[in-house]
């Protein structure tokens, strides 16, 4: 083999790519990672600026690449009944730069949806298969929380103690207790005290705009420093055009553009794609060849199909007393999974999590908050702001989205990125099941907020889905009904792996980041154990 051929080429440096790169580097593999974004200097985070809330609407820190339009971004067009306003971030660390830090796990039932409820498909792996990797990922990322949740399997003591619940967490906990509902302190990818060389959270409160001290577990401060120390090579502003294959149909590397638009070839024995549920199918579909005319690893025709998001709805209660929900980490102090498992009397299958969430600052509230009801300008403005700002508690529905082949990612024939690569087009519509779940959650959230003492309820309504990009290269044992096997190895190309949210069989009713990281560590172990096959 040529000396410049890596053992493993990883494409993407976010929650999955960083974990794969670090784990394989620990084992001694020669790893190269291509990331189309760049390192972000913490002093440049929007969270360090007085106009940080303006970044909600415009500028380089907007969540939506179609608004940011940075050189490292690519456009995403959308269609369907509920076209998503896609949220993603291209940088070392990927969207973990922007995420809130909520860090729940799947429940065991989430891997057995077909068996339990007769919908979707079962995963080919179980919670027990993934549990040791959840534990390992918790330690690598560094999280805060409290063991003992009666609604979930037992787990080890959390690496750091829980962050403060705040007035809103305590108030909603008392309301849930009155209603007899489950609730618990949330695991968060935000450490509460020094851990693994990183400082504890100082309650800065602008987590979604970058943590300037590194208390939030973005992979640029967790996995990547260790991976680089072990010898991994990370090439930034490297936009991959296509995966290369040899005459035998094996992956042999990738073609990528550097920041100056020059085309390069990166060779490797194994290729691992970690580009999220939109970027991964986009790359596979753009990697057509005579051997793979439908796109790479797409003999099933399922690359890009079964795109899942999470049904979201924000219900806010306004209280007489001060809540100061803008103060403290933006992540989820606590949550309720009272309505998580299927109960057909509710009118839908599967279920959802209620996240008790903090909010943004005064400008966000003046704009109307998540309910879209702006404070009036002129006369009455200060009265409305005094009534709302610092007096709001938000319950967010995060529901399970069922896979549907009509929800999909495809190539847009008319739009391309800065290097002329076809952009992704996302077609998405909420299912009737999701809409019934929305309505149930609205009623139950209203009930809980009123029990807590709210005198006014603000409802976002059915919002356009946006993030948690899942399911477009699904895992399964049957090559006719899936793209990768239980070890994330593509059925069609034996040395090509897909490790990110696109491999999810079902979406569950929780944030996916913890599960993405755990799956990535497990996939890395599978690659290493079979390393003689790639020589």
Residue with tokens 């999810």: 504
Once rounded to an integer, what is the mean pLDDT over residues 106-124?
98
The C-alpha atoms of residue 204 and residue 485 are separated, in whole angstroms, by: 42
Mean pLDDT, residues 92-119: 96
DSSP string covering 262-296: -EEEEEEEEEEE--HHHHHHHHHHH---SS-TT-T
> Domain boundaries in the chain?
6-41+53-534
Tell me which range, 52-56, 153-157, 369-373, 376-380, is most confidently predicted by mean pLDDT: 153-157
Q: Is residue 134's pLDDT more than 90?
A: yes
Cα gap 50→302, rounded to integer Å: 46
pLDDT number for residue 526: 98
Q: Taking residues 150-167, what's their average pLDDT?
A: 95
The pLDDT tens digits of the residues spanning 346-371 come to 999 999 999 999 888 888 888 888 88
User: Is 3 a residue whose pLDDT tops 70?
Assistant: no
What average pLDDT does the segment 432-441 reach?
96
**Considering only CA atoms, which of 386, 363, 462 is closest in space to residue 82?**
462
Characterize the bridge pairing of strands 408-416 and 422-427: antiparallel
Distance in angstroms (rounded) separating the CA atoms of residues 15 and 123:
21
Is residue 54 scored above 90 in pLDDT?
no
What would the pLDDT profile of 368-408 be if each residue is shown by its tens digit? Answer: 888 888 889 888 899 989 888 899 999 999 999 999 999 99
> Distance (Å, rounded) from C-alpha 332 to C-alpha 236?
32
Length of the chain: 535
Specify whether the CB–CB gap between 471 and 403 falls below 8 A.
yes
pLDDT of residue 200: 96
Of the pLDDT bands very low, low, confident and very high (cuts 50, 70, 90), residue 238 is very high
| pLDDT exceeds cutoff 50 at 70 | yes
> What are the pLDDT digits (tens) for 509-524?
999 999 999 999 999 9
- Angle CA(332)–CA(334)–CA(335) in degrees, nearest 5? 100
pLDDT attached to residue 324:
86
**Taking 60 as the threshold, does the pLDDT of residue 1 lie above it?**
no
CA distances from 408 to 83, 302, 306, 424 (A): 11, 9, 6, 10
In percent, the amount of the chain with pLDDT more than 90 equals 83
Residue 325 is predicted with a pLDDT of 82
pLDDT digits (tens, 9 = 90+) for 60-69: 888 899 999 9
Cβ–Cβ < 8 Å for 186, 333: yes
Report pLDDT for 61.
87
Can you list the positions of beta strands (E) in 153-262?
184-185, 233-235, 239-245, 251-257
Query: 484 phi and psi, to 5 degrees?
Result: -125, 160
Q: What is the mean pLDDT of residues 218-228?
A: 97
Check residue 73 and report its DSSP letter.
Answer: -
Please answer whether residues 426 and 276 qualify as being in contact, where contact means their C-beta atoms are separated by less than 8 angstroms: no
pTM of the model: 0.96
Q: What pLDDT, in 10s, does the model give residues 437-467?
A: 999 999 999 999 999 999 999 999 888 878 8
> Lowest mean pLDDT: which of 5-14, 205-214, 316-325?
205-214
Percent of the chain with pLDDT over 70: 99
Average pLDDT, the chain: 94
Is the per-residue pLDDT at 233 higher than 50?
yes
pLDDT at 117: 97
Helices (H) and strands (E) in the chain, counts: 11, 16
CA–CA separation, 205 vs 326, rounded Å?
7
pLDDT at 364: 85
Q: What does the pLDDT read at residue 2?
A: 43
Please state which architecture CATH assigns to domain 6-41+53-534. Answer: 3-Layer(bba) Sandwich (3.50)
- Within its chain, how far is the Cα of 59 from the centroid? 22
From residue 319, how far is each of 172, 190, 302, 323, 386 by CA, in Å?
12, 28, 48, 8, 11
Q: Residues 219-239: what's their mean pLDDT?
A: 98
Considering 125-134, 313-322, 380-389, the range whose residues carry the highest mean pLDDT is 125-134
Instruction: Show the DSSP H helices in 162-216 as ranges.
Output: 166-179
């Amino acid at each position: 083999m040529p000396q410049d051929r890596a053992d493993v080429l990883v494409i993407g440096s976010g929650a999955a790519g960083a974990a794969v790169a670090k784990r394989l580097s620990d084992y001694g593999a020669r790893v190269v990672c291509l990331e189309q974004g760049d390192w972000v200097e913490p002093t440049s985070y929007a969270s360090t600026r007085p106009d940080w809330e303006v970044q909600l609407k415009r500028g380089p820190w907007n969540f939506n690449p179609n608004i940011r339009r940075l050189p490292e971004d690519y456009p995403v067009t959308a269609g369907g009944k509920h076209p998503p306003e896609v949220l993603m971030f291209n940088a070392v660390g990927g969207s973990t730069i922007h995420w809130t830090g909520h860090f729940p796990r799947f429940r065991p039932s989430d891997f057995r949806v077909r068996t339990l409820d007769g919908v979707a498909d079962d995963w080919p792996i179980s919670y027990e298969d993934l549990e040791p990797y959840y534990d390992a990922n918790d330690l690598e990322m560094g999280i805060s929380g409290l063991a003992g949740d009666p609604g979930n399997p037992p787990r080890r003591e959390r690496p750091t103690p829980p962050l403060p619940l705040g007035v809103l967490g305590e108030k909603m906990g008392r309301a849930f207790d009155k209603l007899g509902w489950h609730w618990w302190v949330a695991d968060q990818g935000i450490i509460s005290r020094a851990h693994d060389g990183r400082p504890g959270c100082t309650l800065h409160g602008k987590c979604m705009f970058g943590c300037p001290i590194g208390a939030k577990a973005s992979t640029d401060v967790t996995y990547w420093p260790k991976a680089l120390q072990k010898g991994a090579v990370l090439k930034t502003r490297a936009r991959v055009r296509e995966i290369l294959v040899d005459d035998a149909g094996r992956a042999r590397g990738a073609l990528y553009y550097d920041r100056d638009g020059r085309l390069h070839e990166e060779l490797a024995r194994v290729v691992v794609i970690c580009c999220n549920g939109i970027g991964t199918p986009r790359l596979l579909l753009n990697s057509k060849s005579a051997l793979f005319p439908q796109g790479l690893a797409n003999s099933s025709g399922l690359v890009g199909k079964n795109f899942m998001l999470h049904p979201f709805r924000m219900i806010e209660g306004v209280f007489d007393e001060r809540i100061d929900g803008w103060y403290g980490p933006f992540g989820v102090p606590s949550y309720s999974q009272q309505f998580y498992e299927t109960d057909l009397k509710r009118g839908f299958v599967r279920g959802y999590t209620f996240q008790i969430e903090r909010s943004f600052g005064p400008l966000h509230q003046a704009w109307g908050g998540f309910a879209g009801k702006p404070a009036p300008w002129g006369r009455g403005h200060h009265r409305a702001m005094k009534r709302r700002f610092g007096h709001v508690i938000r319950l967010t529905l995060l529901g399970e989205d069922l896979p549907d082949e009509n929800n999909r990612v495809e190539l847009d024939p008319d739009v391309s990125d800065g290097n002329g690569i076809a952009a992704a087009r996302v077609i998405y519509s909420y299912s009737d099941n999701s809409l019934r779940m929305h309505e149930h959650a609205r009623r139950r959230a209203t009930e809980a907020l009123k029990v807590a003492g709210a005198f006014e309820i603000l409802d976002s309504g059915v919002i356009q889905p946006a993030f948690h990009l899942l399911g477009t290269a699904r895992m399964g044992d049957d090559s006719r009904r899936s793209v990768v096997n239980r070890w994330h190895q593509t059925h069609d190309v034996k040395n090509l792996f897909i490790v990110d949210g696109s491999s999810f069989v079902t979406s569950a009713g929780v944030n996916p980041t913890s599960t993405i990281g755990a799956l990535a560590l497990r996939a890395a172990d599978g690659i290493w154990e079979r390393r003689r096959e790639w020589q």
